[in-house]
Amino acid sequence: MVDYSVHGQVAVLEVNNPPVNAFSHNVRVGLDRSIDKAIKDTNVKAIVICGKGRTFPAGADIREFDQPHKEPSLTLVFEKLEKTTKPVVAAIHGTCLGGGLECALFCHYRIAQKTARVGFPEVQIGILPGAAGTQRLPRLTGLHVAMDMITSGRHIFAPEALKYGIIDEMFTGDVINAGIKFAKSVMNKPLEDRCLMNKTVKDADQADQIADEFMSLVKRKYKGFEAPIDCVKAVKASATLPYREGLKMESRLMQKLLLSGQSAAQRYAFFSERAVSRWKMPGGNFQTAKPLPIKSTAVIGAGTMGTGIAVCLLNAGYQVYLLEQNQKFLENGVKTIRGIIEGSVRLGKTPMAVAQKAATLLKPTMKYEDLADVDLVIEAVYENLSLKREIFSKLDKLCKPTTLLCSNTSSLDIDRIGTATKRGDKVAGMHFFAPAYYMRLLENIYSTQTSPTTAATIMDVGRKIGKVSVLVKSCQGFLANRMRGPFAVEAYFLLEEGSTPQEVDSVMENLGMPMGPFKTGDLSGLDIGYKIQTELAKSKGVELSVDSKFLMGERISTLTRTMYDNGRLGRKTGKGWYRYEKPGGKLATPDEEEILERLMYSCINEGFKILEEGVAATPEDIDISWIYGFSWPKYLGGPMYYANRIGLDKIYQRICYYHENFPYSSHWIPSRLLLKLSENKVPMSQWCSGTDSKL
């Protein structure tokens, strides 16, 4: 578990526990013994610690967290390193993470290959760096950098680590040779100043301010997660408590987190994320099927999904032909792609070099012929089986025989798309989630004809574009949407039974979902649900009407159709279940304006009809009835007074708008009197029954 060798006066301790050299119990025992051996050996004047194979240790063994703890603990072993009078050098390559970085922080020196990464990802499995990481990193970097790294869990590359002082030097070439060379250069130097426990935190005087800043950041950014909050508390303790007291605080918080349900769930998610890559399907699996090489790709459709998919492919270095049917759509698509990539560069998420390369890889086109030689096509047009079949048939005739043809459909049967071609084995689904450049899931779908080689290839592409890919068999809604179906449908039924979108969303958001079903629907587009519903009905030979409440004996919501018919398609139209500041906007506010207008303007219209028909003689009659009959607030003066304040022009115009949109509600037929009063700018004092005939 730890290979021990002596090179002149330098002992090299090489952790050997593939695949990631995690500090399992056997490794801790082996390391403990090797350290003792090197300390005792009088010929040894310096010690190098490194990892065999692909990496420096990537942390504690997460699988052991579910088992009873076995001594020695990591901290116990690591403390020997700092105490020894022989200089200890951590020679880092690959990923030096969690307990691996803690080990390095107990060493007197740290050197790293330029491509190495260091970090404390513990927060992502619901814990904190519990082997003194929260106390030692701030002593090296200051609180700000330590808070950032520990609460985010982000890995940083060696050059950034060098800038923060986490490593002392970068090297190229062989790890052991570099370690030995460096160890020789520091063999006789004093070590007191190299022991982090002796150091103080440089920005300790700002501890309160920095901790408050990060506390509010993590509460906002990682709403509902416990670990980031405890990370802030533990890191702050490095500045406010003596080292040993800080360690005790870290240990208390660590024990609490380890026992929490959140950490167990996050660890489950960590292993599940890896387990899904071990896919299987009839006739093959991840071990037997080999992916085909993919270099050039095409995306058909430059809408929301198509552009998002193109961004993923471009960022991963694939050439992308973006195909649209007309110049305007194509130009808009290219603009969207550029906007997404530039935004990501501004946020520091995409390196400039990647963005520059992406720009050269994008090939906008309106000609299908340009797609003839690509290796992979992803079709992302709207959900319509006939249209997709038509496109696939065209592609089949035009593309080289090896091209894989995939659809980003979220629900349509891949078998029925595949049968439009003569290469069903090379047809599959690649279902991205909106926004495609951001959401990590990629649902890959095989039909009865899809070959394991095709599945292997799209799973491989998924990995290369940074997605977590799952492979599923084609069925109605596939996995994600099929399971989400009842969730979405029940949400609609709840509205029909009296709940509001805000109420439903907040229940789910309080549970921990970043967005409730209605905000999510607005984001994906409410036309999708409608189109899925109509396509499904069509496939069953059923014609749905506005008031259809059942489809094949199943309850369906009339709201799906209503929202579609009213153009409330979500963010893209600036209104859905919520209102947005502009079409494509992100700021969801309950549509208060429309609620108010629809409730008030409809009855104001009725008020003018009441005047028109002489049911009431004056607007005052109406207003007093409201004040005393319906407790209308006196400070608003009554609905007719309110109408006057808003202006009859605006009211009339909005009433016409709603009449157009809701032709089946007679209360929206505009009052003739209202029109005349507004056209003639008649003051309120002259509104009364009979005014109509005088105008």
Ligand X SMILES: CC/C=C\C/C=C/C(=O)SCCNC(=O)CCNC(=O)[C@H](O)C(C)(C)COP(=O)(O)OP(=O)(O)OC[C@H]1O[C@@H](n2cnc3c(N)ncnc32)[C@H](O)[C@@H]1OP(=O)(O)O
- Which tokens in the block code for residue 438? 């951001």
Nearer to ligand X, 271 or 438 (CB): 271
Distance between CA atoms of residues 545 and 509, nearest Å: 33
Asked if 392 and 404 count as a contact pair (C-beta separation under 8 A), the reply is no
Among 58, 341, 371, 651, binds ligand X (CB under 6 A): 58
Asked whether position 274 contacts ligand X by CB under 6 A, the answer is yes
Q: Which residue has the tokens 């709403």?
A: 223
CA dist 120 and 525 (Å) reads 38
Nearest partner of 166 among 204, 192, 196, judged by Cα: 196
Among 212, 178, 162, which residue's Cα sits nearest to residue 56? 178
Binder of ligand X out of 47, 50, 62, 175 (CB under 6 A): 62
**51 near ligand X (CB under 6 A):** no
Residues 97-116 that bind ligand X (CB under 6 A): 97-99
Residue 299, φ and ψ in degrees, nearest 5: -120, 125
The answer to whether 532 touches 411, Cβ cutoff 8 Å, is yes
Choices 54-62, 313-321, 432-440, 629-637; region in contact with ligand X by CB under 6 A: 54-62
CB of 97 to ligand X, least distance (A): 4
Rounded to whole angstroms, the Cα distance separating 91 from 89 reads: 6
- DSSP code string of 167-188: SSEEE-S-HHHHHHHHHHHTTT
Is the CB of 104 or the CB of 643 nearer to ligand X? 104
The distance of closest approach from Cβ of residue 440 to ligand X in the complex, given in angstroms and rounded to an integer, is 14
| DSSP collapsed to 3 states, 132-143 | CHHHHHHHHHCH
Quote the least distance from Cβ 168 to ligand X, whole Å: 22
- Is residue 34 within the footprint of ligand X (CB under 6 A)? no
Provide the minimum distance between the beta carbon of 24 and ligand X in the complex, in angstroms, as a whole number: 8
Would you say 125 or 378 has its CB closer to ligand X? 125
Shortest CA distance to 134 belongs to which of 50, 69, 214?
A: 214
DSSP letter assigned to residue 671: P
Structure tokens at 237: 């303790």
The span of 38-46, 59-67, 164-172, 587-595 binding ligand X (CB under 6 A) equals 59-67
With CA atoms as reference, report the closest residue to 97 among 3, 195, 23, 6: 23
Strand ranges, E, within 355-423? 362-365, 376-379, 404-407
Binding segment for ligand X (CB under 6 A), chosen from 95-103, 390-398, 573-581, 659-667, is 95-103
* Residue in 20, 48, 162, 380 binding ligand X, rule: CB under 6 A: 20
Nearer to ligand X, 103 or 655 (CB): 103
**Which of 255/539 has CB closer to ligand X?**
255
Which sign does the torsion angle of CA 347, 352, 354, 357 carry? positive
Which two three-digit tokens encode residue 36?
């003792």
Specify the residue, 230 or 522, whose C-beta has the smaller distance to ligand X: 230
Q: At closest approach, how far in Å is the CB of 105 from ligand X? A: 12
Q: Report the residue number, 121 or 639, with the smaller CB distance to ligand X.
A: 121
Residue from 30, 51, 59, 517 touching ligand X (CB under 6 A): that is 59
d(CA 60, CA 41): 28
Nearest approach, Cβ of residue 54 and ligand X (Å): 7
CB of 79 to ligand X, least distance (A): 13
Contact flags string 74-93 toward ligand X, x per CB under 6 A: x-------------------
Among 96-104, 192-200, 440-448, 490-498, the segment contacting ligand X (CB under 6 A): 96-104
- Which of 15, 48, 49, 60 contacts ligand X by CB under 6 A? 60
- Is residue 456 within 8 A of residue 404, CB to CB? The reply is no
Annotation marks residue 122 as catalytic: yes
- Which tokens is 508 given? 């789910």
* The only residue of 271, 438, 487, 657 in contact with ligand X, by rule CB under 6 A: 271
Among 21, 34, 95, 408, binds ligand X (CB under 6 A): 95
Q: Which residues lie closer than 8 Å to 255 by C-beta, 6 or more apart?
A: none
The minimum distance between CB 125 and ligand X, in angstroms, equals 6
Q: What is the closest distance, in whole angstroms, from the C-beta atom of residue 67 to ligand X in the complex?
A: 11
What is the H or E stretch that residue 3 is in?
strand 2-7
Q: Using alpha carbons, select from 312, 313, 337, 334 the residue that is nearest to residue 324.
A: 334
Q: How many residues does this entry show for the chain? A: 695
User: What are phi and psi for residue 17, nearest 5 degrees?
Assistant: -140, 75
E strands along 438-561, which residues? Answer: 441-446, 468-473, 550-551, 554-555
Could you say which of 14, 102, 324, 379 is catalytic?
Answer: 102
Given the residues 14, 122, 250, 612, the one annotated as active site? 122
Residue (of 631, 632, 653) closest to 641 by Cα position = 632
Q: CB 176 → ligand X: shortest distance, Å?
A: 21
Considering beta carbons, is residue 63 or 634 the nearer one to ligand X? 63
Look at residues 305, 40, 84 and name the one whose alpha carbon lies nearest to residue 192: 84
Residue 149 CB, nearest distance to ligand X (Å)? Answer: 13
Q: In which residue are the tokens 């403390």 written?
A: 79
Q: Closest approach of Cβ 355 to ligand X, in Å?
A: 24
Sign for the pseudo-dihedral over CA of 467, 471, 475, 481: negative
Q: Rounded to whole angstroms, how far apart are CA atoms 350 and 530?
A: 35
| Shorter beta-carbon distance to ligand X: residue 10 or 131 | 131
Residue that the structure tokens 């130009």 belong to: 331
Is the CB of residue 695 less than 8 Å from the CB of residue 687? no
Min dist. Cβ of residue 119 to ligand X (A)? 8
Number of chain positions touching ligand X (CB under 6 A): 22
Cis peptide before 435, with omega less than 30 degrees from 0?
yes
Site for ligand X in 334-353 (CB under 6 A): none
Nearer to ligand X, 63 or 223 (CB): 63
Q: Which of residues 116-135 bind ligand X (CB under 6 A)?
A: 121-122, 125, 129-131
Cα(670)–Cα(659) distance, integer angstroms: 7
Q: How does DSSP assign 579-619, residue by residue?
A: E-SSTT----EE-HHHHHHHHHHHHHHHHHHHHHTTSSSSH
Pick the binder of ligand X from 3, 6, 36, 63 (CB under 6 A). Answer: 63
578 sits in which H/E element: strand 578-579
- Scanning 260-399, the segments in alpha helix (DSSP H) are 261-275, 304-315, 327-346, 352-361, 385-398
User: Which chain residues interact with ligand X by CB under 6 A?
Assistant: 19-20, 22, 58-63, 74, 95, 97-99, 121-122, 125, 129-131, 271, 274
* Catalytic annotation, residues: 102, 122
